[in-house]
Amino acid sequence: MQGHPEVIDYLNHLLRGELAARDQYFAHSRTYEDQGFTKLFTRLDHEMQEETQHADAILRRILMLGGRPDMRPNAFTPGETVPEMLQKDLDTEYEVRAALRKGMALCEQHGDYVSRDMLLLQLRDTEEDHAYWLEKQLGLIQKVGLQNYLQSQM
């Protein structure tokens, strides 16, 4: 099946973003593990796996549309402190959300409703799971203080 070149290009843009998000979660999860924050490690390791699934779905769609996947992740700078890592992850999710919305509109414009629906599923996961959880963690730090929050994550 031959897809529209604009859609394939944009799916590659999304793929690179998902790969970067995966790598960022990977780096942050392992930092949490090294620092003894096992609850944060477990959650971010799960997020890394979900980003990998998102990238896999996009990659498969690009191939189905006759495109060539661009597997070069976008550049990112990992955070250094727990609040910085959480904020960087949240910022990434907000960027992904905006990109998915734009991609959905582009797919609809070109009549590619299957790709649009795939992106809608990823948008739901981004908003209802990833971003929501990160917002809650940053809110908890504000409410109970960083030290109490960190103690709860051991």
CATH number at residue 27: 1.20.1260.10
Structure tokens at 126: 């981004």
Residue 1 has pLDDT above 90, yes or no: no
pLDDT tens sequence across 64-110: 999 999 999 999 999 999 999 999 999 999 999 999 999 999 999 99
Mean pLDDT over the full length of the chain: 97
Domains of the chain: total: 1
Q: What is the domain range of residue 57?
A: 5-152
pLDDT at 116: 98
pLDDT digits (tens, 9 = 90+) for 21-41: 999 999 999 999 999 999 999
Q: For position 30, what pLDDT does the model report?
A: 98
CA distance 82 to 92: 15
Q: Which conformational region is residue 97 in: left (phi greater than 0), alpha (psi within -120 to 50 degrees), or beta?
A: alpha
Is residue 75 within 8 A of residue 150, CB to CB? The reply is: no
